[in-house]
Each structure stands twice: as C-alpha cells, then as structure tokens.
C-alpha cells in the first residue's frame, strides 16, 4: 500500500486538503472543492449487471479492475464506490471491497468502521428517533399520533430480533408503541447524505424528512421537531468524501452506501462530483441488476445531481446467464449450452433497457475459472449479433492486465460521436402512478400494475399533499424483472403488485414497495463473524 498522501498527490490533491484517518484513508476537505470546482468534469461510466444470482456477478470487482486497467492504459481514472455496511460483513456477505487483484485497501478497515460515516448516520437517525418519543413524553405539543410514526430506529447490524419490537414499556418510559429497527443503510439519512450537494442542501433535505402524522393527519417533519441542526452537526464529517486506493494505487472515492431496494443504491453525489474533477474517467457502480440499480442511478441520482453518464458497462458471467436460463446453483459448473442461450435473454433485455436512457453499453464478461471457451464464445457472439461491444474481463486473477481489453473497448465507446445522449426514463411532471407504470411496462416489461388497498391509501395521501413531482424508488426483488424472485430470464406480461408506497421526502422519492422487502437482515446459522480472527499484531483475518 502506498501512503494515502502519495495517492492523493498523484491525483493532484495537495496534503493541505486531506483529513487523514491513519496512514491509508483520508477525507477530502471542502477546501479541495473550492480548488476543483471550476475544472471540467471527466466522463462518468456506470458499472451495472444482469439480475444477480447466487453465483455472484462481480460488479464491485469489475469497477475496481476496470479503473485499474484504464489507468494502466494511460487514462486518468478514479473509481467511486459505496461504503460497505458492517452488518452484512459480519453476517452473510463478508467484505465488499472487491477481490483477487482488484481490491480496494485497507480492506479490513473499509469493511469495518472505515471513517465512521455509517456510525454518524446511525447516530443522527437515532437522535431523531429519541426526539420523537421524547416529544410525545414531554407533552406532545405537535400532537404526534403514536400510531402513525413512520420513523423507526437503525443499527448497522444484522439482527432480525429488532425488526418488530414494542418500545416504551415500564413506568415512566414514554408511550408504549410498536416500532422496529432497520439496518443503517436503509435509513433515509443515508439516502439524503448520498444525494445532497453540500451542507446547506443536507440541512434542507434533513428538514423535509417525514417522521409521522399528527392527530389531524398532517405530516410532521424532522424540522418540526427541531432536530435538523443537531443531525447536521453529527453528519458534518460524514458528508466529506473518503479517499482510498486499489491494490494498484488507483485513487478511489468510497462514500455513502444506501440500500438498493428502499433507497437508490449508489455512492454519494458529492463523492462523484469530486471524482469527476479528479479523473478524466470516473467508474462507478449501482446496486443489484440494471433493472433496479441502473434505473435508479439514471432516474434519481443523475437527474437530481444533473449528471450525464457517458456509458454503461453491463457485467455478465457465464454462470449468471446459465442460472437465468434455469440451471440450479449446484449445477452451474457443468456446461449447458441450451440454458446459456436461454439466459442470454436476460442480458439482452438489460442492454435494450439501458438504450432507453440514451447511454451506450459495453458488456463485461467477468471470467471465472472453469468457464468453457465455447460458453464465452456464445456470449461474445450474442453481443456481436446485438451490435454491442463486449470484452472478457480477468481482473480478479490478473488485475489491470486482465482488464486491458475491456478498457480499450470502453475508450472506443467514450470516443464515439454519438455518446452523450442521456435522458431519464420519465418526466418529473408525470404523476406517481404513471411513473410506476412507465418503469413497470418499459423496463420490467410487466403488463400492468396492481395497487393494494394500502398502496391506494398512500396514493391518496400523495395526491392530498401534492407530492406527485417526487421520483419513484422501486423496492422490488433484485432476482427477477418481475416481483416474483423465481421468474428468471426475461419474463413479460406479468402483473406487478404494489404493496405500499412510503415517502422519503428528504431524499426526494416515493418508495414503491412490491413483494416482501426486508430492511433488517438476519444472521445465518454460521455468521461470517464466527470466521474472523485477530492475530497478535492486530491484523484481522477472515474478512475479504
């Protein structure tokens, strides 16, 4: 690892603008922005993927490896990634810092507390929670309806026992009511932190956040509770982007990590802006597959921030295509041409969809040991038939060397005359049901949308409060275009059920909940935490 001061220096950042966290991590001071803001922006490239499968696609890996390869090819490139959440690291998932020769480092510190941003979100969120219950306890001047508090508590831990709880029991402990915890990445504050432009915008957004309704049915916000300034104080460091590096010394901005279902699942706008000033190309990623991640990246993050992505890289693997073609997880290592050809429908659908945003697409075939040459050939041939450039990526095994082909194809794409026609899918002026309908029919290819009674009540509130201009944030299973996780490939004609719609007024979107969305994961029978160890020198093992 190079010292972060050296990485920064190579990226044109002088030490005065660094706020170091140890020797290998740094926050970037607002003074740096003053210096950078007049520079032209680099080109923004989104790494997205087919629908995720149990085999793993390698989006983060590809983002890191591609950035390394671009730098190796002489293109000044910065990666922009999300911060890993502690809960999943200790639960099912392990770390979220790439792998093999395409990793960001120091991986253990990034995976655990990093620079404390997620802890700051937890604190700010739970301060507001405490102030809500305290407000009711101290006389409830605002007339908050304890049955209609929508603001829960958060913890960065996988703890299913906290999903549904009763609080305020015992004498003198406040109002007894049902509530629960979400994982911190599901906090609206995380979405707000990732969408805001600066401290002033952060305050405005925090103030708009809906905490519940009063006994007359009027909305009550964080601003009404007097919590905005204190939350801002808790978040004032977290709003500064973090700089780390890849194993090859490529600068990486790792900042923010909102949930990809009930939030928009992209790293921060502020971090992206810094990256665009520092790199001629910025490679970033979005959560889940392109149906969710890319759509929200384009329709929420890019729209709100006025960003225009120049290209999208769609990560596919032979295994994920076979899985989408109906092969079970256990049999993915065996060749199965028929399933592969069938599963290509999933890739094709995503390619078509990305075209609807006016963004040119490049397919990255993330290579796994055991992929048959004939299978790789089938995927590349399919791309060729679709007129879409593609390249095999071996960044896990080879680092930048394994990504040079991909980097070369991307350079060609970025140099094309027709690059730069980005537009969001829908207009803000459409009403919420029409926005949902447009995403469901044009991206998911469902036939129609069915709103539950609860969703209809929520739509009536949206109508009454005049909130049709909000964007929509779809909370849907990532495994299928539909709301049924087992409907793989490229289904169509289905009915998309909307169970409820909630309001993230600070983030600026209505969350459209389809199916059963879990916002507090549980631990598996053998949590990843049990596999960790710390040696005598304080080095952590078992977390990658």
- The residue among 171 and 415 lying less far from a copy of itself, judged by its C-beta, is 171
| Least CB distance to a copy of itself at residue 90 (A) | 6
What is the distance in angstroms between the CA of the first residue and the CA of the last residue of the chain?
A: 16
Residue 467 near a copy of itself by CB under 8 A: no
Binding residues for ATP, by number, are 53-60
Residues 365-424 that bind a copy of itself (CB under 8 A): none
CA dihedral (324, 327, 329, 334) in degrees, to 10, reads: -120
Strand, coil or helix: 228: helix
Residue 126 near a copy of itself by CB under 8 A: yes
| Least CB distance to a copy of itself at residue 163 (A) | 5
Question: What residue ranges in 367-425 does DSSP mark as E strands?
Answer: 390-393
Strand, coil or helix: 47: strand
DSSP state of 51: S
Nearest alpha carbon to residue 136 among 126, 128, 146, 121: 146
Residues 15-34 that bind a copy of itself (CB under 8 A): 19-23, 27, 30
Residue 517 near a copy of itself by CB under 8 A: no
Contacts of 471 (CB under 8 A, 6+ apart): 299, 300, 303, 304, 428, 435, 508, 509, 510
- The residue among 1 and 534 lying less far from a copy of itself, judged by its C-beta, is 534
Residue 120 near a copy of itself by CB under 8 A: yes
User: Among residues 140, 175, 434, 468, which is the contact residue for a copy of itself, using CB under 8 A?
Assistant: 175
Residue 130 near a copy of itself by CB under 8 A: yes
DSSP state of 490: S
- The residue among 140 and 345 lying less far from a copy of itself, judged by its C-beta, is 140
Residue 83 near a copy of itself by CB under 8 A: no
540 - beta bridge partners?
Answer: 534
- The residue among 51 and 519 lying less far from a copy of itself, judged by its C-beta, is 519
Pairing status of strand 177-179 against strand 165-167: antiparallel
Helix (H) or strand (E) run with residue 136 in it: helix 117-137
User: Among residues 14, 381, 469, 533, which is the contact residue for a copy of itself, using CB under 8 A?
Assistant: 533
- Cα distances from 342 to residues 322, 333, 495, in angstroms, run 8, 17, 22
Residue 172 near a copy of itself by CB under 8 A: yes
User: Using an 8 Å Cβ cutoff, are 202 and 192 in contact?
Assistant: yes
Residue 294 near a copy of itself by CB under 8 A: no
| Least CB distance to a copy of itself at residue 531 (A) | 8
- The residue among 156 and 483 lying less far from a copy of itself, judged by its C-beta, is 156
User: Among residues 46, 49, 78, 157, which is the contact residue for a copy of itself, using CB under 8 A?
Assistant: 157
User: Using an 8 Å Cβ cutoff, are 196 and 202 in contact?
Assistant: yes
User: Among residues 41, 376, 527, 544, which is the contact residue for a copy of itself, using CB under 8 A?
Assistant: 527
Task: With both helix axes pointing from N to C terminus, report the angle between 228-235 and 199-208 in degrees, rounded to the nearest 10.
Answer: 130
Residues 227-256 that bind a copy of itself (CB under 8 A): 227, 229-230, 232-234, 236-237
Residue 335 near a copy of itself by CB under 8 A: no
- The residue among 463 and 530 lying less far from a copy of itself, judged by its C-beta, is 530
């Amino acid at each position: 690892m190079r010292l972060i001061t050296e990485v920064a220096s190579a990226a044109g950042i002088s030490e005065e603008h660094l706020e170091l966290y140890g020797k290998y991590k740094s926050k970037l001071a607002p003074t740096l922005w003053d210096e950078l803001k007049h520079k032209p922006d680099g080109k923004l490239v989104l790494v997205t993927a087919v629908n995720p499968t149990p085999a793993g696609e390698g989006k983060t890996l590809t983002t890191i490896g591609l950035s390394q390869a671009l730098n190796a090819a002489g293109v000044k490139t910065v990666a922009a990634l999300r911060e890993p959440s502690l809960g999943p690291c200790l639960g099912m998932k392990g770390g979220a810092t790439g792998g093999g020769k395409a990793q960001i480092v120091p991986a253990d510190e990034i995976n655990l507390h990093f620079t404390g941003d997620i802890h700051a979100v937890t604190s700010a969120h739970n301060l507001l929670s405490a102030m809500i219950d305290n407000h009711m306890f101290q006389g409830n001047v605002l007339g908050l309806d304890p049955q209609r508090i929508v603001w829960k508590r958060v913890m960065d831990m996988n703890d299913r026992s906290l999903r549904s709880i009763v609080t305020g029991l015992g004498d003198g402990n406040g109002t007894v009511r049902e509530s629960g915890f979400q994982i911190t990445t599901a906090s609206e504050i995380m979405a707000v932190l990732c969408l805001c432009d600066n401290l002033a915008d952060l305050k405005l957004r925090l103030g708009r956040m809906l905490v519940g309704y009063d006994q007359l049915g009027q909305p009550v916000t964080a601003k009404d509770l007097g919590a905005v300034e204190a939350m801002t104080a808790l978040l004032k460091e977290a709003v500064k982007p973090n700089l780390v590096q890849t194993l090859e010394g490529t600068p990486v901005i790792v900042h923010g990590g909102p949930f990809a279902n009930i939030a928009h699942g992209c790293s921060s706008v502020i971090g992206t802006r810094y990256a665009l000033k520092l790199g001629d190309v910025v490679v970033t990623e979005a959560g889940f597959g392109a149906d969710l991640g890319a759509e929200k990246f384009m329709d929420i993050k890019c729209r709100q921030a006025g960003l225009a992505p120049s290209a999208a890289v769609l990560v596919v693997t032979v295994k994920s295509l076979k899985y989408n073609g109906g092969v079970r997880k256990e049999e993915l290592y065996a060749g199965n041409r028929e399933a592969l050809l069938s599963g290509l429908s999933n890739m094709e659908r995503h390619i078509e969809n990305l075209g609807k945003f006016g963004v040119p697409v490049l397919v990255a075939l993330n290579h796994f040991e055991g992929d048959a040459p004939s299978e790789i050939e089938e995927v590349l041939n399919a791309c060729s038939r679709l007129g879409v450039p593609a390249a095999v990526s071996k960044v896990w095994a080879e680092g930048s060397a394994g990504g040079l082909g991909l980097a070369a194809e991307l350079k060609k794409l970025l140099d094309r005359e027709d690059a730069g026609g980005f537009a969001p899918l829908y207009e803000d002026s459409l009403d919420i049901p029409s926005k949902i309908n447009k995403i469901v029919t044009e991206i998911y290819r469902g036939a129609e949308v069915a709103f539950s009674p609860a969703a209809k009540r929520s739509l009536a509130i949206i109508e009454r409060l005049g909130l049709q201009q909000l964007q929509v944030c779809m909370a849907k299973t990532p495994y299928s275009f539909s709301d049924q996780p087992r409907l793989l490939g490229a289904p169509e004609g289905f009915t998309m059920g909307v169970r409820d719609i909630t309001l993230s007024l600070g983030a600026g979107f209505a969350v459209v909940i389809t199916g059963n969305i879990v916002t507090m994961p549980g631990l598996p029978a053998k949590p990843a935490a049990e596999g960790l160890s710390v040696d005598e020198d304080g080095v952590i093992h078992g977390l990658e």
